[in-house]
Chains A and B, each alone.
Chain A
């Protein structure tokens, strides 16, 4: 492992020196690989250098595409969007350097600001933080308001339109097309259950009321907390332009619902009401249901991306699909 670590450290040093030639005497310390996140390798480190005679010290993290990922996404988009969001009120990491084609790091990588704090998937229902109810309610509203702020972000003015296609009112159909294509890239194993779900989705694709910046994987598990305060939203790999209700469908889908609710105090209807107040967007229950089903299809595709990585000997864990997601989708579309 130490040889591997030294190899990565050398590559990282060359990468940063190339991106930031003003850094003199760059030293990388404390580099290590940490667990967490299925779609990217995470390598935190501290960097020190001298710039115009002044010492600089930064806490950074290098996020690199793994050999076998569960997501097919483009680091250039993630980097560009995070740059565009810099200076907004949306809590996101400052990105420093991009190795888009893996020229330095072997695989596409981003170096960005590192945050301390707690990653607590189930903070709202208690989790490891065990915050009091009023703090959890405040945090639940804060998550919702962050999502609302993201959806109200003026992406056109920030130049995001140069990075991402605007699907317009056909965002739902574009999303189905994109994820169906991704699904069949992962497997040539016939999946009639998923064909049935795709037909159901195509019959019900709603028209978007607006095009917004969609996070794509918004959840407490993709954030860091400082006590009861939200510090930063992470994992912007699936950010795209689309229908605002897509993110609402993601956070209220049955598989994610537990992460976003405080039983008896903050239910999906509370989240939706607060979101509606903050954004002014209409939230049609039929549209939310459509996006709930879509969220599960997307999760199934992500799972099959992992299965493909495993079958090709590129994964570090034995991914398999036991059909439980398809079964859930069948229940949701009234076919089971």
Chain B
């Protein structure tokens, strides 16, 4: 369907810059409009990557929390086993078409559990298995940050 999302975003930005901006005499409003244009430009490059990024990140967080189960079993402050199990289990209908809102909600829950896991590991005394898990979490988070930046 035309215009596509990319075309629409680029077109809106172009109209703001070509039609609206030159008519703004107020420097404050002109500055704010520039900020809106920059955000639209960032959105143009971000949106095509968002769905696969979330799907991959969710799969990786779920695998990490699943593998971490033995380490976290008796660790004080770690997320409860049933919460982890519910979050890492695959979506109800894996063949269903990806739904952005559902992916974002799952991502948020998985990130919450990873945050709690980091806090629990940090509070615990050093231990080779726990240290290895902490390193794996750091590496995974570093990779997700690189992907968000589009690397």
Contact = CB atoms under 8 A, between A and B. Distances in A.
B27 A192 contact: no
Interface of A: 1, 33-35, 189-193, 195-196, 199, 202, 316-318, 320, 322-324, 326-327, 330, 335-336
B28 A35 contact: yes
A199 B122 contact: yes
Contact of B141 (A35, A193, A322): A193
B149 A324 contact: yes
Give chain A's interface secondary structure class. loop
B138 A196 contact: yes
Interface residues on B, range: 20 to 34
A33 B141 contact: no
Contacts of A335: 138-139, 141-142
A192 B28 contact: no
A1 B26 CA distance: 10
Give chain B's interface secondary structure class. helix
B146 interface: yes
14 contacts: A1-B26, A190-B111, A190-B115, A191-B111, A192-B111, A192-B114, A192-B141, A193-B141, A195-B118, A316-B32, A327-B142, A327-B145, A327-B148, A330-B141
Given A196-B137, A327-B145, A327-B149, A190 B112 contact: yes
Interface in B58-103: none
B5 interface: no
Interface of B: 26-28, 31-32, 35-36, 39, 42, 46, 108, 111-112, 114-115, 118-119, 122, 137-139, 141-142, 145-146, 148-149
A193 B145 contact: yes
Contacts of B137: 192, 196
Contacts of A318: 35-36, 39
Nearest to B123: A199
B145 A195 contact: no
Contacts of A190: 108, 111-112, 114-115
Contacts of B139: 335
Contacts of B108: 189-190
A199 B108 CA distance: 20
Given A1-B26, A190-B112, A192-B137, A323 B149 contact: yes
Contacts of B36: 317-318
A33 B149 CA distance: 36
Greatest chain B CB density within 10 A among A34, A190, A191, A326 is at A190
A330 B151 CA distance: 15
A326 B145 contact: yes
Contact of A196 (B32, B42, B141): B141
A196 B118 contact: yes
Contacts of B142: 327, 330, 335-336
Contact of A336 (B35, B118, B145): B145
Contacts of B28: 33-35
A318 B122 CA distance: 35
Given A320-B39, A335-B138, A191 B148 contact: no
Given A193-B141, A196-B118, A317-B32, A35 B39 contact: no
